[in-house]
Amino acid sequence: MLAPVPIPGLFVTGTDTDVGKTVVAGLIADWFRRRGARVAVLKPAATGCVRRREGLVSEDAEFLARCADARFPLDLICPQRYAEPLAPAVAAQRAKQPLDWPAIDRSVRLMSAGSDVMVVEGVGGVMVPMDATGHTVLDVARWLALPAVVVARPGLGTINHTLLTLNALRSAGVRVAGVVINRYRTDGASVAEETNLAAIERWGKTQVLATVPDTVLEHGFLPPDLIASVDAVDWAAFAHAGSP
118 three-state secondary structure = strand
DSSP classification of residue 157? T
Contact at 8 Å (CB) between 123 and 44? yes
Q: What are the b/e assignments for 190-229, b being 16+ CB within 10 Å? A: eeebeebbeebeeebebebbbbbbebeeeeeebeeebeeb
CA angle 127, 133, 136 (to 5 degrees): 20
* Residue 5 main-chain phi, psi, to 5 deg: -65, 125
| Stretches in the chain below the pLDDT threshold 50 | 244
Give the DSSP H or E segment for 81.
Answer: strand 80-81
Contact at 8 Å (CB) between 139 and 1? yes
Sign of the Cα torsion 206, 210, 216, 217 reads: negative
CA angle 197, 200, 206 (to 5 degrees): 110
pLDDT of amino acid 186: 80
pLDDT of amino acid 220: 75
Domains assigned to the chain? 9-239 (3.40.50.300)
Q: What are the b/e assignments for 20-48, b being 16+ CB within 10 Å? A: bbbbbbbbbbbbbbeeebbbbbbbbbbbb
Give the DSSP H or E segment for 148.
Answer: strand 148-152
Biggest distance spanned by C-alpha atoms of the chain: 50
DSSP classification of residue 19? S
Catalytic positions, written as ranges: 43
Give the DSSP H or E segment for 51.
Answer: strand 50-52
pLDDT of amino acid 244: 45
* Residue 222 main-chain phi, psi, to 5 deg: -80, 120
C-alpha 203: how far from chain center: 23
